[in-house]
Amino acid sequence: MRTLLAEAARHLAESGVESPRVDAELLLAHVLAVPRARLLVLDDVPAEVAERFDALLAQRADRVPLQHLTGRAPFRYLELAVGPGVFVPRPETEQLAGWAVERLAGIDAPLVVDLGSGSGALALSIAHEHPGARVTAVEHDPGAIEWTRHNAVARATAGDTPVAVVPGDMTDPSLLSQLDGTVDLVVSNPPYVPDGARVPREVADHDPPLALWGGPDGLEVVRGLLITAARLLRTGGRLGIEHADQQGSSLPSLVRAHGGFSDVEDHPDLAGRPRFTTARRV
Ligand code: GLN
């Protein structure tokens, strides 16, 4: 087992995979259907398992995202189904979800909108952690929304308050107009990567383009998103938007320049990089 894992990790490292040992362990655990911690107490791997492991390693070496190979992505308390067509949720988005849940404390049945929901990570985490919340997840990409719906059904079946999944473009001036001025919280992990920026192959080849690219400065979609958020939010309602490492001052400036928000603040992720901007609707 140790040799098998060591060789697998070396193979992945040679292919430029960033965390080769962890990925090798998670793929083997996936094939064996055991928790990763159990791997080292297992001795033998049946030939059929070794074969399936090899096939997954080859795909991982070809830079298919780990989460597409296991079909799962952990996010806070949830495990979401992911695969081709949907953006893989990232750990750095977890703090934005945490911030959102804290803002909702004490509000009985808050109205929440997640713009560009993808796998549903933000919307479904909020529904899970604040059971009274009435959450709407908006997704524009017809491929991605299949995953939003799938995960929403899975969470509702598991007992969480159902989340409404709505097809729509976060920059559309008539999106969810029946909610104008009533929403307590808008969150979004929008497409914000500047066009032409270098991203890892896992991202460039497997995350949907609509979830990534945000125009020349990466803020093109955010400009429309701010207009939508300002329209939906009630006075005192909160906004939280994830952004790129380099947008820690440009995004807050954009929110201030809009004029409809106060208390504009930027927050770092666990690695200390600027990661999301929050504000209050005036
Ligand atoms: N953070 C993502 C990445 O690393 C980009 C996410 C986005 O544009 N919303 O590629």
Q: CA-CA distance, 264 to 16, in Å (whole number)?
A: 39
User: Cβ distance 151 to 175 under 8 Å?
Assistant: no
Q: Which structural domain, as residue segments, surrounds residue 198?
A: 76-281
Report the pocket of ligand 1 as residue ranges, CB < 6 Å.
90, 189-193, 199, 203, 211-212
What's the pLDDT score for residue 187?
Answer: 99
Q: CA-CA distance, 158 to 81, in Å (whole number)?
A: 14
pLDDT in tens, 151-206: 999 999 999 999 999 999 999 999 999 999 999 999 999 999 999 999 999 999 99
Distance of CA 238 to the CA centre of its chain: 19
Q: Same structural domain for residues 29 and 111?
A: no
Q: Could you give the 3-state DSSP secondary structure of residue 51? A: helix
- Ligand 1 pocket test target in 82, 90, 241, 251 with most atoms within 8 Å of CB: 90
- Cα-to-centroid distance, 88 and ligand 1 (Å): 9
pLDDT in tens, 8-32: 999 999 999 999 999 999 999 999 9
Task: State which ligand 1 atom lies nearest to the alpha carbon of 116.
Answer: 9
Q: Same structural domain for residues 236 and 120?
A: yes
What's the pLDDT score for residue 36?
Answer: 92
Q: Which among 26, 100, 89 has a CA at the least distance from the CA of 57? A: 26
Domain of 237: which CATH number? 3.40.50.150
Domain stops at, among 62, 85, 106: 62
What's the pLDDT score for residue 2?
Answer: 81
Q: Same structural domain for residues 144 and 270?
A: yes
pLDDT at 82 over 90: yes
| Structural domain contains residue 266 | yes
pLDDT in tens, 236-267: 999 999 999 999 999 999 999 999 999 999 99
| Structural domain contains residue 109 | yes
Task: State which ligand 1 atom lies nearest to the alpha carbon of 199.
Answer: 10
What's the pLDDT score for residue 95?
Answer: 97
Q: CA-CA distance, 119 to 86, in Å (whole number)?
A: 6
Q: Say if residue 102 is exposed, middle or buried (CB neighbours under 10 Å; 0-12, 13-18, 19+).
A: exposed
| Structural domain contains residue 181 | yes
Question: Who's near 126: CB < 8 A, 6+ residues apart?
Answer: 97, 100, 101, 104, 112, 114, 133, 135, 185, 187
- Ligand 1 pocket test target in 92, 119, 192, 243 with most atoms within 8 Å of CB: 192
How many helices (H) and strands (E) the chain has is answered by 11, 9
Q: Same structural domain for residues 225 and 261?
A: yes
User: Cβ distance 37 to 25 under 8 Å?
Assistant: no
Closest residue by Cα to atom 1, ligand 1, is 244
